[in-house]
Structure 1
Amino acid sequence: MVNQGHLFLGADFGTQGVRVGLADEKGSILEAKEIKYPIHYPKPGQAIQNSADWWRGFEEALGAVLGNITPTQKKAIRAISICATSSTIVPVDQEGTALDDAIMWMDIRAKEQARRINEINHEVLKYCGEAVSPEWLIPKLLWLKENKREIYDKASLIVEQIDLINYKLTDIWAASKVNAVCKWNYIEGIGFDDDYMEKIGLDDYKNKMIVNIVPMGKCVGYLKQELVQRYDLPDIPVIQGGIDAHIGMIGMGVVGPGKMAANMGTSFVQLIFTDQDVPVKGIWGPYKGAMVEGLTLLEAGQISAGSIIKWYQNIFNLNSPEAYKIMQEEVENVPIGADGLRALDFFQGNRTPYKDSYATGVITGLTLNHDRAHFHRAIMEAVSFGFKNIVKNFEDSGVPITKVIGTGGVTHDRTWMQILSDVTGKEFTINENTNYGTILGCTMLSAVGSGVYDSLFEAAENMVHEKETIQPNLENTKKYEKPFEEYLHLYQALKTV
C-alpha cells in the first residue's frame, strides 16, 4: 500500500544519465526513472557532454515518475532537491543557454592551469588539501579564459551542472555551498579570497562565477509557475543539494563522524566527517562547514573505477546481456593476486592520495598463462588496493574508520565487494536503497528543507535502513599484503616514466 503522507522528489544528474525519484517519510522509493545521455571523448584526457541532454532527460524522467502517481500523491509532494556531478561546467548567456559543450568533471585538460595555481602556494590552498585538481571549476575556468577566450568573454556566467538545473527550476542563480567549499576555494566564514583570485589570473571572477552561495538543505527558490502548471504540482520549494557523491553520503546515513561513505560507480569517492579540522596529507580538505554546521568534511577519491571495467568490457567485446554473468564466473576461478598480473588504476590520473593528474593506467607482469579473466581480476584488485591506500592514509593521520557504507553500481558485484572488504580489512555495509543512495539523499534534504524533519540526523534515523554487511576474510587480508606493497612500489617506480 502506498504511503499517503508527505512525499519528496529528488533528482541525481550522474555521469551517464539522470535519475528522478519519489520517496516517502520512511525512505521508501515509490517511483524512479532513469534517462541516459551520452559522453564524448574528443581528445585524451577530455570528456564533454551536451548540456541540453541533461534537461531533456530530466523532463522525461520527471514526467514518467509523476505519470505513475495519483493526483492526491502529487498534492503530497513537499519539495524537490537535486545533486549533480562536480565540477562539470558550462558557459551560459544571460538566459541560461549554453554557449559551448559542457566540460565534464573527469576532464583533466586543465592540468597546466592546476599546476600553475599550486605552484603559487597561496594560503587559500591549505583549506583544500594544499592543492587544486584539474577536475575542479577554478582551473577549468582559467583554461577557458586562456584557450577559448571568445566564449569566455561572451559568457554571462560559467556554471556547474547543478547551478544550471536549479536555474531552470527557479529562474535563480545560486551555487551550492558544498560545491563552492569543496571545488571552488570558497572558505567558510571568509568567502572567496580576492588576492588569491588575482594571483591565479581570475581577477574578474565576480563577473564569471556565481557568488550567491546557498547552503545545502536551504531553499534556493520556488518551482517556477511554468513547471508547476505543466506537471500539475503544488508550489514547492527547490532545496539546495550539492555534489552527487556528497549527497549520496547523506543518503547512506553518514551524517556524523566515524563512518566512511563510499560512492562506488564510474569513479569512487570516499567521504568522512570529523569534528576537528584535521590536516590529512593526500586528501581534499579539510572542508569546514561544507555540508553540516560544526563538522569538517574530508574527501578522497579514485577517478577511475567502474569505468575501467567498462573499458575492459569494450576491449574484450563483453557487452552482451549475458556477458556480466560470464565475467563473474570467469573471475572467480582466478586466485588472489591474479597469478602475478598487476595493474594501476590511474586511467585518468590519480585523485588521492598522490594527486597526480599525469599518472596513467598500467598492466604489468603478463605471461602466456594469463587470459582475459586475469585482466578482470587484476583491475578489481588494483581499484581495491587504491581504496586501501586511501583508508591507510586516513588512519595513519589519526582519522579512525569503524566501517564503510557503500552505495553505487559496484555494490551489486558480490565478488568485487568481497575483494574490497578482504583487501582493506573493513566491513562494508549496504543499505536497502543502495541503488538510490543519491536520490535518497536528495529526498532527505527535501524532507529537512520543507520542515518535515528537524535535522539530517532525524531524517537519517527514519529514512535510512541497513540491508546487509560484508565481513572481511582476515586470512585473505594477509594474502593481499604482498600484492598491495607491489602496487605501491609500481607507482613509485613508474611515476617519472
Structure 2
Amino acid sequence: MSRYTLGLDYGSDSVRALLVDVATGAELASHMVNYPRWAEGRYCEPARDQYRQHPLDYVDSLVEVVNALWSKVPAGTAEKVVGLSFDTTGSTPVAINADGVPLALTDEFSENPNAMFVLWKDHTALKEASEITQAANNNDVNYLSYMGGIYSSEWYWAKVLHIYRQDAAVKAAAHSWVEHCDWMTALMCGTTHPSQLQMGRCATGHKLMWNEAWGGFPPNDFFNSVDPLLDGLVDTLNPATQTSDQVAGKLTAEWSQKLGLPEGIVVGYGAFDCHMGAVAANVREGVLTKVMGTSTCDITVTTPETLGETCVKGICGQVDGSVIPGLIGLEAGQSAFGDLYAWFKNLVLWPTNNLLHELMESGADELASKIEAVTLQRLSADAAQLPVSATDISALDWVNGRRTPDADQTVSMAITGIKMGADAPQLFKALVEATAFGARAITERFREEGVPINSVVVIGGISKKSDYVMQTCADVWNCPIDVLESEQSCALGAAIMAAVAAGEYPTVAAAQEVMASPVCKQYLPDASRVGIYDELYQQYKTLGAYVSGGKA
C-alpha cells in the first residue's frame, strides 16, 4: 500500500501544503492559501518596520490548504498519510499565556499587534538587539559566539524585550514566548501547555541562543543583566531541544477531524523554511543552498571535524543538528533580494499607476496589474543586453538592512555612478548585481572562516523566473549554480523529515536518496565577465564601507 507524508510550508504571505509518496519521492499534489488578514495589510506599519501576523491566519489557512489537497487526489489518499511536519519563516515568535494560548487568541488581546506573531522581517527591535550584543560581548561567556557574534533585531530575544518595553499589558499576561514552527507542531500534538511544550533544535539554536556548550540556554542572570523585564523568561523554556527527524507527538483527534487526516499519525519537530529547503536540496558539505525569494536564506553543513573550534563571525548561527543530525548547520542570508527588485518596480511605476487611476473610471487596477507583471521581465531583458564594465553604476543591496555578514539593520542601500545617460535598465542591472555581490560576501565569509563552499544550489521563485538574475549570480560568484526542480522545496524538506520521523527511513540521508528534488537546470559562469565582476565587487565593498562608516 502506498504511504504519504505531508509537508507544510509557512512563508511570509502564504502557506503551502505538499503531499509526497515516501516510496518514490513523487509529489502527488500541492496547494497554496494566502493569509487573509495579512493580505489586507492588517496589524502592520511598514514605515515603522512593524510586521505582525495574527495566529488565526495560520490556523484558518492550515484547515483550508490541507482540505483543498483532498480534492486533487483520489478518494482515500488522506487515509494513507503517515506523518506531517512544518517549516516556517523565522524568527517569528508569539507571546503565550500560562495555558499556552497565544495572547491574540484571547478576547483581551485579539486586535493587539503586540500579542501576535512578530514576523521575521519586523525590525522594530534594533535598540534591543544592540543591547543584547553588547551584553554578550562584555560577558565572561560570550553567548553569541556560536551565533556570529551579533544579535539581530529579527530574532527572538530582541523582539520579546521590545514588546515588553512597549506594552505592559502584554508583559503582564505573557507566561512565555514560542516560535511559529514550534507552536504549529505543538498545536497538532495537543502539547501547547508550557509544561508539555518542546522545541526543535533549529529555531532554538539559530535564534534563541541555545547551545550544547552551555547546557542549553544562557542563564537567567544574563538576560536579567540585559533588562530585568526578561527576568524568568528563560526558565519557562525547555532546554531539551530535538532535531527534525524526531517524533514530536501524534496528531490529536481534534486536528484529525479538522484536516481529514488519520488520528495518531506522527508529527515531526518543526524547523525554519530554509533549513527544510536545504534538506530537499540534498545539502552536503561544500554546497551552499540558497533560498531566493523576497529575502534569501543561505544554508550549508559541515562536519564537527572540519569546523573544529571555529566560531564563524557575522552569520546567523552554527548549530549541531539544525539541518541534518550529526552535522553542523550554518545559516546566513540577505534581508532583501526580490524585495529590492519589487521596490524598484514600484518606484518606476508610481507615476504610471497613479495616472491610470486619475484617467480611468474603471479597469485601472486590472491594467496596472498587467503592466506590473511585464515590467521586471522587460527590465531584465534589456539589462541582459548591456555590456559589463568596471565603470558601471554600483549599488548596495541593503534596502532592508543587512542580515549577513555582520548583521546591521540600521544600514541603508546606496547607488553611485549615476549620470544623465543612466536609464531604468542600467539602474536595474546595478540592483541585480548588488544582490549578487551581497550573496558573494556571504560565501567569501564562509571560506575565510574555513567552511568550504564549492557550488550553489538555489531554491525559490526567482531561480525559476529569471535567467538574467541567475546568470548574473553565476558570473559574480564564479561557481556553478544548480536550480532545483521542485516548486515546493521547503515543503518537500518537511515531508522528508516527516518520513524519517514516521519510521519510513532509518536516516535523513536514506530518505534524501529517494525523496530529495532533482536538479532541473544549471548555470555556469561566463569567464569573460568574471574578472570585470571582481573589480565591481571591490567597488561594492568600498561603497559599503563608506555607507556603514567602515563597518562593512
Matches within 5 A, 1:73-472: 73-93=77-97, 94=99, 95-98=101-104, 99=109, 100-120=115-135, 121=137, 122=139, 123-173=142-192, 174-188=198-212, 190-194=215-219, 195-201=221-227, 202-206=230-234, 209=237, 213-235=241-263, 236-254=265-283, 256-276=284-304, 277=307, 278-317=310-349, 319-320=369-370, 321-336=373-388, 340-412=392-464, 413-433=466-486, 435-464=487-516, 465-472=518-525
In the superposition, relative to structure 1, how do residues 269 and 331 fare at CA in structure 2: closer, same or farther (>3 Å)?
A: same
Q: Secondary structure at the match of 1:185?
A: coil
- Shift of the alpha carbon at 1:431? 2.1
Contact (CA 8 Å) 2:34, 2:61: kept in 1 or not?
yes
Contact (CA 8 Å) 1:66, 1:231: kept in 2 or not?
no
Q: Per-residue CA shift, 1:73-98, capped at 9, x if unaligned? A: 21211101010011112223333452
- Shift of the alpha carbon at 1:209? 4.7
Inter-partner Cα distance in structure 1 for 2:488 and 2:389: 33
Q: Secondary structure at the match of 2:500?
A: helix
CA RMSD across the alignment = 2.0
Inter-partner Cα distance in structure 2 for 1:105 and 1:82: 16
Q: Can you give the 5+ residue segments of structure 1 that lack an aligned partner in the other structure? A: none
In the superposition, relative to structure 1, how do residues 262 and 461 fare at CA in structure 2: closer, same or farther (>3 Å)?
A: same
Q: Per-residue CA shift, 1:37-78, capped at 9, x if unaligned? A: 335334333222223212222221111112222333212111
Inter-partner Cα distance in structure 2 for 1:319 and 1:372: 19
What is the match of residue 9 of structure 1?
Answer: 6
Inter-partner Cα distance in structure 1 for 2:173 and 2:260: 37
540, 544, 547: which is aligned to 1:487?
Answer: 540
How many residues align? The count is: 492
Inter-partner Cα distance in structure 2 for 1:217 and 1:242: 10
Inter-partner Cα distance in structure 1 for 2:236 and 2:127: 21
In the superposition, relative to structure 1, how do residues 75 and 196 fare at CA in structure 2: closer, same or farther (>3 Å)?
A: same
Contact (CA 8 Å) 2:281, 2:457: kept in 1 or not?
yes
Q: Can you give the 5+ residue segments of structure 2 that lack an aligned partner in the other structure? A: 110-114, 193-197, 350-367
What is the match of residue 76 of structure 2?
Answer: 72
Identity of aligned residues (%): 26
Contact (CA 8 Å) 1:339, 1:374: kept in 2 or not?
no
Q: Per-residue CA shift, 1:73-127, capped at 9, x if unaligned? A: 2121110101001111222333345242322101111111111111121321112
In the superposition, relative to structure 1, how do residues 330 and 44 fare at CA in structure 2: closer, same or farther (>3 Å)?
A: farther
In the superposition, relative to structure 1, how do residues 97 and 63 fare at CA in structure 2: closer, same or farther (>3 Å)?
A: farther
Q: Secondary structure at the match of 2:420?
A: coil
- Give the TM-score taking structure 2 as reference length: 0.85
Give the stretch that moved more between structures: 115-124 or 37-46. 37-46
Q: Per-residue CA shift, 1:424-470, capped at 9, x if unaligned? A: 0010111221x211011010011111011111111111112222221
Contact (CA 8 Å) 1:337, 1:378: kept in 2 or not?
no
- Shift of the alpha carbon at 1:476? 1.0
Inter-partner Cα distance in structure 1 for 2:260 and 2:448: 54
Inter-partner Cα distance in structure 2 for 1:227 and 1:298: 34
Give the stretch that moved more between structures: 112-121 or 43-52. 43-52
What is the match of residue 31 of structure 1?
Answer: 29
- Shift of the alpha carbon at 1:330? 2.5
Amino acid at match of 2:544: Y
Amino acid at match of 1:19: R
Q: Secondary structure at the match of 1:352?
A: coil
Contact (CA 8 Å) 1:338, 1:374: kept in 2 or not?
no
Q: Secondary structure at the match of 1:430?
A: strand
Contact (CA 8 Å) 1:157, 1:207: kept in 2 or not?
no
Q: Secondary structure at the match of 1:398?
A: coil
Amino acid at match of 2:212: E
What is the match of residue 57 of structure 2?
Answer: 53
- Give the TM-score taking structure 1 as reference length: 0.94
Contact (CA 8 Å) 2:55, 2:102: kept in 1 or not?
no
Q: Per-residue CA shift, 1:224-248, capped at 9, x if unaligned? A: 1122123432121111120111111
- Shift of the alpha carbon at 1:207? 6.0
Inter-partner Cα distance in structure 2 for 1:267 and 1:384: 12
In the superposition, relative to structure 1, how do residues 84 and 420 fare at CA in structure 2: closer, same or farther (>3 Å)?
A: same
Contact (CA 8 Å) 1:270, 1:299: kept in 2 or not?
yes
